[in-house]
Structure formats: structure tokens, C-alpha cells
């Protein structure tokens, strides 16, 4: 490769890197972030987006460049160069992707740990006796690591029952059964989920979280909402004809509003929050 | 090891087999006839699957469910997935091109087991008709091509059972084919032909057939248990009878992830044949290509649970499958860099075959990148089961495999028929397909990231515009089949004569007449030890003068 081409290649790559870092920070490719792991998710998304765009544009560029530069011009006869192999090149394009993959893997592991994915799953921590130790708890994502020490004692416990084609939220403490999920902003929520019929999935795009709701096997999902608002809850596992209509809303509200809602709907006489 | 049928049987074969167009409707034992049978039959199912895709895209042009009843919508998406996978891509990239090319490549006169070969093909049309007929009997299966219980146990049983029987038949066909390819490649090679001299498609088919033989029986067993749950009310996967729905998912994906490689590895092999011929250069990095195919085969068997990151899997399992999945990108990447290196410095004829192959490279790279992202658990928990995944796998199976099928048809049509396809129409076909495909599926990444789940007939109205864009893309894809069909049908009768070897290719299938005689060669099979020996003389001359490309 002549030096001039090399300089162009470096300049184009640099411009590309800057452009996609700008794009990943300024284009809204994702919905609002409304839970404590949404910003962490977006960090991972941006890194993957930058790496992915560079790779994609780079490879596409190489293909288009080759097609134009090495096309057979009219009247040209004969073959291309008989280059069969190049060991240093093969090593290079084995090693570089391996390093990139390793980096992405380690980075996403870090992200996963910050989201609490490697935590042992807990639900209903101050009601341990109510759960038999035999009961299997599956999947989901644990509580946020940094939040763990301080607020672990007061997660809001909700039990989600999914059925064709609705979500029901049960607040065991206030004996509330609601079709909408109400949660106060800034407080961790621990949700134990089980399905009555087929597999459903609980998905809130603004929380960047999804967990299947399975018949016969409770699953756990822990999250901390960070922004007030109403966000859609979407069933993400094909569950029958009305799958597309199986939606609900999560209402993230200020603690006072949440308390008011809780008091108003609570059926039990003694309510302690 | 005998390498070919003894010449004395030749006359018998000709007496037993019908000749002319009739042989394509017969129980022919000729691998070339069977290859064409697979191809044409697969293409008919592709058109049916495409009509179903059109119905889905029409339904999704509006946010409400208004085009067809919701039950029918679920039947349509189930049939679309099943037909496209089991009746179009798998039979065509394996059965059609495998049957046509593998005996040539190993220097044999036919496949190792010609009767098994014909049986494998003739399982497909009845299985396909059975599957489609279920729609008219009592409604087709409604639980998606994944047929997850308990949904598949609770939806109407007739459709689901017919679906299971049909997939079992198609799986059987696939296993027969796989055994046949392994035996042919390993045991029917012409004396003097070493494994490392075989064209790359042989390696791809060897790897694919290993996957088929190892994983398809697991799917068969799983579906039989599922049918017991439906018919005999056993409780293997039925939670109300103590069954476990997650076990089904493990067993299902143990086949169905390798199934992705069963659809793309042969495509990788076909591209490796097409690129060197039209860029007049040897295939770059043959040895690393072979090892990367085998690495993909080995890794492909241990990545299945990445389909289940939100199903309820323990953290250690999520981590293991993340790492294994992401590392498939390394051998896959090697192949892509080698293809670009094959193009680099070539004398590329910009024809339809190479355009579709390069379209495949571009589309598949994007699908691969989103695949690495999806392998990351924290990324996947947001976009799993959304349109992001729909976009990802269509970039793999349509942008990847189907583009390669078209590229291969343009490349081997002269071999099949002795006629050339019209290049202008071919390029038009490529342009409409490429634009339509990207317009249809690229916006779906955004839909998934922003909250549209897959397999829905109704959705949040904020997604209407992007869905309409996607539907316009689908319309273009539908239109793109028209010039292709016209080109293929017209050229059979009125196409320009191609001669035996219009591309001046060196792989063995071109070293005979086009179309080839019944037992492939009039005399002895040629010994081709350098199937990619292009450009050597040129390089010796070129080395004496300064070269601007280096």
C-alpha cells in the first residue's frame, strides 16, 4: 500500500470513529431511561454501537472499494494476482477480532455485574420464613450492587401473576390486587412472577429489563425505577391470539403519591409501610 | 474403495429412468436431477412462504389488528417461519446445491446412496403439502416455529400435530441427506484426491452434515415427546402435570441453533466457490477457511442457551453461553476477511453472481455484528423477543443464505441448463432485492430497541410509520422475484447458449458438458487438485513490473 493510501485510510477511520461516537451520544436510538440499570445498559449499547458501526462500515467499504478498484475493465483479459495465502495477515485477522470479542465480553460482564446479574436472587428478604427453602427460583436480574447494602432491607415486594392476556400485580402487604404496577421512584422493587397458563414475558423497554413469566416456576426480577412517568409493560413471549394486546402500565410516582395510592387501595386494616 | 458405478450399469440406469422433462417428476436416482428437484421444489415453497410474509407485512402496516383474525395471524407467522426454514433454505443450500455439486467435487458419478437420496427428496413435497393443508383442515399450528409448550399444548391440537409430523418428515429427509453427504465426501473421493484439495463447499457440507446428524435427532425426540403431551396427555413439558417447559427450550435450541449453521455454512461454502471464479483469483487462505468451518461446527453445538437468556437460566449458564456465542464471531470473521482478500487484487467481473455474493457479505456482517451484541446477556435482556431479533436473523438467513442462493443460481444456471441468464435483468433483480431487503429489515432494529415485541398483530401507534417503511421494503422484495422468475423461465427456452464453461472455471463440475451427461463424465473423472488455481501465469508476468495495487 503506498504511503498516501495509508494516510487516507487512517484519516477516514478516525473520521468514522468520531462520527459514530457523536452519533451514539446524540441520536436517540433508545427510549427514555427510567430505571437504575437503564443508563448502564445505554453505556454498553453505545460501546457496541461504536465498535459495530466501525466494523460494518469498514467491511462494506472494503467490499465496495474492491469491486470498483479491481473490476474488470472493458477489453481486459487475464486473471488477478495468484496470492493464495498470507500467514501474518491470517494471524492478524484472527487475533484482532479475538481481542475485540474478549474486550466486549469482559466489558459486558462488568455491565452485567453492575446491573446485579451475578447476585444471588433474593425476594421478600424480610419474610424469609414464608418461602420454603425447597422452592426453586429462576432467572431474572438481581438488585443493583451499590444499592444493595443500604436499601436491601426495604424492597417493595410485588407478586406478578400473568395469564392470557393480562398482568395482575399483587402487593402482599396491603392485599392490593391491581392491573397496573405502581412503584415509588428511587426504591428498589422485587417482583416474584409466575404464570397461570402459558409462558409470558414482563418487559418494560424504559427499564431495559425483560424476564419470562413461566408456569410452574417462579422467576424474580429486581429493579429500581429512577424517573417518574407511565411506561408500557409489554408481554414479549408469544402467548396466544391476543399476545399483541397483552399490555399494562407501570406508574412510577413520587413516594407520597405512591403512599396515597397504596393507602387508598389497601384492603388490610393494619398497613405498615 | 470404488469411485464410481461400473460403466456397465450405465445402460440400465438409462433404461430405468425417464428422460427429458419427465425425469424431474420421477423417482430419479441421478444426483443432478435430485438437485434440481430440491431447488425448484424449494423455490415454490419460497414463493408460498413469501406470500405469508406479505400477509404479515400487510397486517403490520396499521397498528391495529385489521387484516386477518388474530388466530390466523399466528398461524401465518408459524407457517412462514417453518416453510422458510425447513422447506426453502435448509433443502436448497444443502439438498439442491449439495446434491448437484458434491459428486462432481469428489470426482464421483453419483452420491454414495442414490436411493436414499431420492427418498430424502421425496419426503419433502408431501411434508410441505401436509403442513400447508393443516391450515385448511382445522387451522394450522399457532405457536410459532419454536412451538414452545405450554402454548403448543393448549392451542388446537390438529394443527400442532400436523406441524410436528411434517417437521419430523423434513428432519428425517435432512438426516438422510446428511448421512449421504458425509459418506460421499469421505468415502467416494476419486483416488489421488486428498481432503485438503477439495473445493471449500465440500468442507462446508461435511461440517453441516455433522451438525445435521448430531442435532436433528434431538429435535425429533423432543417433538415426539411434545406430541405425546398433546395427544396422550403425558406431562413431559406440561407444568400442570409436573412437566418442565424450560427443558423443552433446551432440547429445541440444541437443534435449532445449529440449524442456523445448517442454513449458513453451506452458503459460506457456495460463496467460496463463486468469488474465486469471478474475481479470477485463488480462494484466499484455504487452510484457515477449513479450520474456521470446523471451529464454527464445534462452537455451534455449545451455544444454544443464548436463546434463553430471559427464560430463567442461572447466571453461570448465561455467562458460559455468552462467551461461547461471541467467540463464533472469530472463525466467522476469518472467513469474511478471507473473502475480501479474495476480491482484493482480482479481475472482478461485476455480474449478478458476484453482486449477490457481495450483497451477502455486507448483509451478513451486519447480522453478525448484531449477533455478537445479542450474545451479551445485559444487551439481550432488553431486545430479546423483539423486532431487533427479527431484524438480526433475517439479516442472517435472508441477507445471508437467500442472497447466496440467488448468487448460486446465477453462477450455476449455465451448468444446469446450458443457457445463460440475462445479465441486465439479473442486475435489476439484485438492485431491487438489496434495496427492498434493507428497507424492510434495517428499520426493524430501531423498532425492537424502542419497544415493539415480535409476533404481534397489533402494536403501539408510535411505530406505525417505521412499520410502513418496512412493509414498502417487503413489497419491493416481492416485486424483485418477478424479473428473476421471468429471467429463469425465459432463458431456459430462449437464453443465449453458454457453452460448457462460460466462466472459465477450474472446479470439476465445469470440466464436463453443460448440462452434464447422466454419469457426469463421458470418460474418467478428471483429477482436480487445484480447484482455485487461477491467475498463476499472470502473477509471474506481473511480478516483473511495478504493481500499483500493492
Non-local (6+) Cβ contacts of A79 within 8 A are B280, B281, B346, B347, B534, B535, B536, B537, B538
Residue B269 has pLDDT above 80, yes or no: yes
Mutation site, A2, A82, A113, interface B, largest B CB count within 10 A: A82
Compare CB distances from B329 to A41, A101, A237 and report the shortest one's residue: A101
Do the Cβ atoms of A70 and B343 come within 8 Å?
yes
Do the Cβ atoms of B451 and A81 come within 8 Å?
no
Give residue A269's pLDDT band: very low, low, confident or very high (50, 70, 90).
low
pLDDT in tens, B102-111: 999 999 999 9
User: Exposed, middle or buried: residue A218 (CB in 10 Å: 0-12, 13-18, 19+)?
Assistant: buried
Chain A CB contacts of B455 below 8 Å: 238, 243-244
Q: Mean pLDDT score of chain B, rounded to an integer? A: 91
Do the Cβ atoms of B455 and A67 come within 8 Å?
no
* Structural domain total, chain B: 1
What's the CATH number where B429 sits? 1.20.210.10
Q: How far is B61 from chain A (nearest CA, A)?
A: 14
Give residue A119's pLDDT band: very low, low, confident or very high (50, 70, 90).
low
Non-local (6+) Cβ contacts of B459 within 8 A are A244, B60, B63, B452, B467
Residue with cell 460482564: A109
B348 φ, ψ (degrees, to nearest 5): -85, 125
A143-157, A174-188, A230-244: which is most confident? A230-244
What DSSP letter does each residue of B96-115 carry, written as one string?
A: IHHHHHHHHHHT-SS-S-HH
Do the Cβ atoms of A78 and B347 come within 8 Å?
yes
pLDDT of amino acid A37: 85
Do the Cβ atoms of B358 and A63 come within 8 Å?
yes
The CATH code that applies to domain A125-265 is: 2.60.40.420
The H or E element spanning position B10 is helix B9-16
Give residue A136's pLDDT band: very low, low, confident or very high (50, 70, 90).
very low
pLDDT of amino acid A185: 92
Q: Mean pLDDT score of chain A, rounded to an integer? A: 82
Give residue B11's pLDDT band: very low, low, confident or very high (50, 70, 90).
low
Going from N- to C-terminal start, the domains of chain A cover: 3-71+85-114, 125-265
Mean pLDDT of A123-135: 41
Which residues numbered 455-514 in B keep a CB inside 8 Å of some CB on A? Answer: 455-460
pLDDT of amino acid B2: 44
* Chain B residue with minimum CA distance to A142: B315
Cα(B194)–Cα(B192) distance, integer angstroms: 6
Within a domain: residue B7? no
**Cα B51 from chain centroid (whole Å):** 19
Q: For the ranges A202-211, B169-178, B306-315, B421-430, which has the lowest average pLDDT?
A: B306-315
Residue B177 has pLDDT above 80, yes or no: yes
Residue B539 has pLDDT above 70, yes or no: no
Give residue A28's pLDDT band: very low, low, confident or very high (50, 70, 90).
confident
Q: How far is B169 from chain A (nearest CA, A)?
A: 25
Within a domain: residue B20? no
Do the Cβ atoms of B329 and A55 come within 8 Å?
no
Do the Cβ atoms of A52 and B346 come within 8 Å?
no
Compare CB distances from B451 to A217, A232, A242 and report the shortest one's residue: A232
Tell me how crowded residue A175 is: count the other CB atoms within 10 A of its CB: 13
B536 or B71, higher pLDDT? B71
Give residue A155's pLDDT band: very low, low, confident or very high (50, 70, 90).
confident
pLDDT of amino acid B27: 86
Within a domain: residue B547? no
Mean pLDDT of B208-226: 95
Mean pLDDT of B417-422: 94
What is the model's pTM? 0.91
Give residue A121's pLDDT band: very low, low, confident or very high (50, 70, 90).
low
Q: What is the DSSP letter of A206?
A: G
Cα(A106)–Cα(A104) distance, integer angstroms: 6
Give residue A112's pLDDT band: very low, low, confident or very high (50, 70, 90).
confident
Chain A CB contacts of B389 below 8 Å: none
pLDDT in tens, B356-411: 999 999 999 999 999 999 999 889 999 999 999 999 999 999 999 999 999 999 99
Do the Cβ atoms of A97 and B333 come within 8 Å?
yes
Report the candidate in B58, B223, B32, B215 with the shortest Cα–Cα distance to residue B110: B32
* Chain A residue with minimum CA distance to B149: A198
Please work out, in degrees rounded to the nearest 5, the angle formed at the alpha carbon of residue B39 by the alpha carbons of B194 and B496.
90
Compare CB distances from B456 to A70, A209, A243 and report the shortest one's residue: A243
Under 8 Å between Cβ of A52 and A219: no
Cα(A193)–Cα(A181) distance, integer angstroms: 13
Do the Cβ atoms of B382 and A41 come within 8 Å?
yes
A69 or A116, higher pLDDT? A69
Q: How far is B452 from chain A (nearest CA, A)?
A: 9
pLDDT in tens, B276-297: 999 999 999 999 999 999 999 9
Is B449's Cβ below 8 Å from some Cβ in A?
A: yes
Do the Cβ atoms of A211 and B240 come within 8 Å?
no
Structural domain of B69: 27-519+527-535
Give residue B318's pLDDT band: very low, low, confident or very high (50, 70, 90).
confident
Do the Cβ atoms of A82 and B323 come within 8 Å?
no
- Which three-class secondary structure state does DSSP give residue B243? coil
Do the Cβ atoms of A80 and B345 come within 8 Å?
yes
* Chain B residue with minimum CA distance to A48: B373
**Cα A164 from chain centroid (whole Å):** 25
The proportion of chain A whose per-residue pLDDT surpasses 70, expressed as a percent, equals 82
Exposure b/e, B180-207, CB count within 10 A at least 16 = b: bbbebbeebbbeebeeeebbbbbbbbbb
How many contacts, defined by CB atoms under 8 Å, are there between A and B?
Answer: 299
Within a domain: residue B237? yes
Q: For the ranges A65-74, B20-29, B81-90, which has the lowest average pLDDT?
A: B20-29
Mean pLDDT of A178-195: 91
Chain B CB contacts of A109 below 8 Å: 319, 322
pLDDT of amino acid A79: 80
Within a domain: residue B14? no
Do the Cβ atoms of B315 and A86 come within 8 Å?
no
Residue with cell 446485579: A116
Amino acid at each position: 500500500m503506498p504511503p498516501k493510501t495509508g494516510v487516507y485510510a487512517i484519516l477516514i477511520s478516525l473520521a468514522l470513529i468520531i462520527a459514530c461516537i457523536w452519533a451514539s451520544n446524540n441520536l436517540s436510538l433508545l427510549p427514555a431511561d427510567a430505571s437504575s440499570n437503564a443508563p448502564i445498559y445505554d453505556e454498553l449499547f453505545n460501546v457496541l454501537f461504536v465498535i459495530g458501526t466501525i466494523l460494518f462500515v469498514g467491511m462494506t467499504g472494503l467490499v465496495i472499494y474492491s469491486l470498483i478498484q479491481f473490476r474488470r475493465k472493458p477489453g481486459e483479459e487475464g486473471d488477478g494476482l495468484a496470492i493464495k495465502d498470507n500467514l501474518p495477515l491470517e494471524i492478524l485477522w484472527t487475533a484482532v477480532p479475538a481481542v475485540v470479542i474478549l474486550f466486549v465480553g469482559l466489558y459486558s460482564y462488568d455491565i452485567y455485574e453492575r446491573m446485579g446479574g451475578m447476585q444471588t436472587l433474593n425476594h421478600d428478604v424480610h419474610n424469609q420464613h414464608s418461602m420454603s427453602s425447597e422452592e426453586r427460583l429462576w432467572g431474572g436480574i438481581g438488585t443493583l450492587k451499590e444499592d444493595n447494602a443500604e436499601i436491601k432491607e426495604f424492597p417493595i415486594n410485588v407478586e406478578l401473576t400473568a395469564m392470557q392476556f393480562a398482568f395482575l400485580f399483587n402487593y402482599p402487604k396491603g392485599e392490593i390486587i391491581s392491573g397496573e404496577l405502581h412503584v415509588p421512584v428511587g426504591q428498589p422493587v422485587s417482583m416474584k412472577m409466575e404464570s397461570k397458563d402459558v409462558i409470558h414475558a414482563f418487559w418494560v423497554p424504559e427499564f431495559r429489563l425483560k424476564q419470562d413469566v413461566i408456569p410452574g416456576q417462579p422467576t424474580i426480577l429486581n429493579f429500581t425505577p429512577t424517573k417518574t412517568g407511565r411506561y408500557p409493560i409489554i408481554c414479549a413471549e408469544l402467548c396466544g391470539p391476543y399476545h399483541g394486546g397483552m399490555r399494562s402500565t407501570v406508574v412510577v410516582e413520587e413516594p407520597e403519591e405512591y403512599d396515597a395510592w397504596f393507602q387508598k387501595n389497601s384492603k388490610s386494616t393494619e398497613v405498615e409501610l | 474403495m470404488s469411485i464410481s458405478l461400473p460403466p456397465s450399469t450405465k445402460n440400465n440406469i438409462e433404461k430405468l429412468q425417464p428422460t427429458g422433462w419427465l425425469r424431474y417428476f420421477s423417482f430419479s436416482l441421478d444426483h443432478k436431477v435430485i438437485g434440481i428437484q430440491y431447488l425448484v421444489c424449494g423455490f415454490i415453497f419460497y414463493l408460498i412462504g413469501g406470500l405469508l410474509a406479505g400477509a404479515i407485512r400487510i397486517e403490520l402496516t396499521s397498528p391495529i389488528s385489521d387484516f386477518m383474525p388474530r388466530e390466523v395471524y399466528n398461524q401465518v407467522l408459524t407457517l412462514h417461519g417453518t416453510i422458510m426454514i425447513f422447506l426453502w433454505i435448509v433443502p436448497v443450500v444443502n439438498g439442491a446445491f449439495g446434491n448437484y455439486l458434491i459428486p462432481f467435487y469428489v470426482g464421483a458419478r453419483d452420491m454414495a446412496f442414490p436411493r436414499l437420496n431420492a427418498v430424502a427428496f421425496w419426503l419433502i413435497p408431501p411434508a410441505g403439502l401436509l403442513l400447508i393443508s393443516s391450515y385448511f383442515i382445522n387451522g394450522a399450528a399457532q405457536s410459532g416455529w419454536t412451538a414452545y409448550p405450554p402454548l403448543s399444548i393448549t392451542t388446537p391440537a390438529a394443527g400442532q400435530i400436523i406441524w410436528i409430523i411434517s417437521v419430523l418428515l423434513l428432519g428425517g429427509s435432512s438426516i438422510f441427506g446428511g448421512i449421504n453427504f458425509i459418506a460421499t465426501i469421505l468415502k467416494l473421493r476419486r483416488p489421488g484426491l486428498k481432503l485438503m484439495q477439495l473445493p471449500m463447499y465440500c468442507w462446508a457440507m461435511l461440517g453441516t452434515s455433522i451438525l445435521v446428524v448430531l442435532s436433528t435427532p434431538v429435535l425429533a425426540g423432543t417433538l415426539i415427546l411434545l406430541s405425546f403431551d398433546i395427544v396422550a396427555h403425558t406431562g413431559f413439558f406440561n407444568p400442570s402435570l409436573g412437566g418442565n417447559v424450560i427443558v423443552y427450550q433446551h432440547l429445541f435450541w440444541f437443534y435449532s441453533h445449529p440449524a442456523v449453521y445448517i442454513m449458513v455454512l453451506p452458503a459460506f461454502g457456495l460463496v467460496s466457490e463463486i468469488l474465486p471464479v469471478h474475481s479470477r483469483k485463488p480462494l484466499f487462505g484455504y487452510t484457515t477457511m477449513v479450520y474456521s468451518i470446523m471451529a464454527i461446527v464445534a462452537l455451534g453445538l455449545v451455544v444454544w442457551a443464548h436463546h434463553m437468556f430471559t427464560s430463567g437460566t442461572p447466571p453461570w449458564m448465561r455467562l458460559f453461553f455468552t462467551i461461547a456465542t461471541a467467540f463464533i464471531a472469530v472463525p466467522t470473521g476469518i472467513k469474511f476477511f478471507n473473502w475480501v482478500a479474495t476480491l482484493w487484487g482480482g479481475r472482478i467481473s461485476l455480474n449478478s453472481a458476484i453482486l449477490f455474493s457481495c450483497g451477502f457479505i455486507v448483509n451478513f456482517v451486519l447480522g453478525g455484528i448484531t449477533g455478537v451484541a445479542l450474545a451479551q446477556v445485559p444487551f439481550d435482556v432488553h431486545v430479546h423477543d423483539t423486532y431487533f431479533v427479527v431484524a438480526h436473523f433475517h439479516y442472517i438467513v435472508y441477507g445471508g443464505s437467500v442472497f447466496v442462493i440467488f448468487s448460486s443460481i446465477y453462477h450455476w444456471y449455465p451448468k444446469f441448463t446450458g443457457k445463460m441468464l440475462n445479465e441486465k435483468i439479473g442486475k435489476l433483480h439484485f438492485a431491487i432485492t438489496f434495496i427492498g431487503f434493507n428497507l424492510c429489515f434495517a428499520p426493524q432494529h430501531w423498532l425492537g430497541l424502542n419497544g415493539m415485541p415480535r409476533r404481534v398483530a397489533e402494536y403501539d401507534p408510535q411505530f406505525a410509520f417505521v412499520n410502513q417503511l418496512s412493509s414498502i421494503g417487503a413489497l419491493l422484495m416481492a416485486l424483485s422475484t418477478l424479473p428473476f422468475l421471468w429471467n429463469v423461465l425465459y432463458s431456459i427456452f430462449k437464453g443465449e447458449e453458454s457453452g460448457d464453461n462460460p466462466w472459465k472455471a477450474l472446479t470439476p463440475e465445469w470440466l464436463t458438458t453443460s448440462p452434464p451427461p447422466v454419469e457426469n463424465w463421458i470418460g474418467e473423472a478428471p483429477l482436480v487438485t487445484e480447484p482455485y488455481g487461477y491467475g498463476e501465469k499472470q502473477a509471474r508476468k506481473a511480478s516483473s513490473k511495478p504493481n500499483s495495487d500493492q
